[in-house]
Structure 1
Amino acid sequence: MEALGAPGAGLATALENLFPPIPSEVILPFARFKASRGGFTLLEAIFWTTAGSLLGAYLLHLLGAWLGRQRTRALVGKIPFVALDDVDKVEAWFLRHGYRAVFLGRLLPLFRSLVFIPGGIERMPTRSKVGA
């Protein structure tokens, strides 16, 4: 954010989605702080962090669709601080609740990143309605 401004906040948010150990609870307050100091506007911070979050989520969805269940599990199992038990819980919750799991899963730390992977594995359309 220091070097890139508001787009840097978006990049950090996209990386937070891709690498769950990076918490958005650190990124977003810092973006707000930078906006309050005149580094960029609050509207720019909101726009770029939302865009970054959507980009990260979409990339995880594509990763799940491209790699499939077994290769995705192997890859996710190598991410520090992410246990395969967490992946199993997220996938079970997704299979039980379907599209609603993606919407509600965005509210829970760690879950918010991992929930897009089973969505991709199960080939969930990216333009689905939440209630479907």
Structure 2
Amino acid sequence: MDENSRVFVISTAAELAGMHPQTLRQYDRMGLVSPGRTPGKSRRYSMRDVAKLREIAELGAEGVSLEGIRRILALEDRVRGLESRLRELESALADEMLSRPGRRVFAAGSAGDVISMKAGTRMRRSTQMVIWRPLDHGDE
């Protein structure tokens, strides 16, 4: 069974989460956990929903308010989304690097300018020395 399959009726989900069904209804109204709906509008919960309900219970037991829990869950969802996007971009970058060997890379010059270089080459380091002396303004 897929963790996202919405198969549990509210009484079963409440029992699995260790909560009262009315609590699940309240969390649904608040948007903390949004179960699927059947054509007859009955709630159907997934294992992921049950895990989220358990997390809500743990945070509540630690003294976190419902608004705090809502914000934590939203941030966790955002982090998961960003991690997924990062994996997509890393994969696309790896594919691009494999498909275009010998492409150019860039470096920053001493004046802050951008210098295009072939992959595998290095910037020559400047061996010049600059000496700085403060201006003599007498006794200030």
TM-score by length of 1: 0.30
Q: Which structure has the higher relative contact order (CA within 8 Å, separation 6+)?
A: 1
TM-score by length of 2: 0.29
Greater fraction of residues in helix: 1
Greater fraction of residues in strand: 2
Which protein is bigger by CA-based radius of gyration? 2
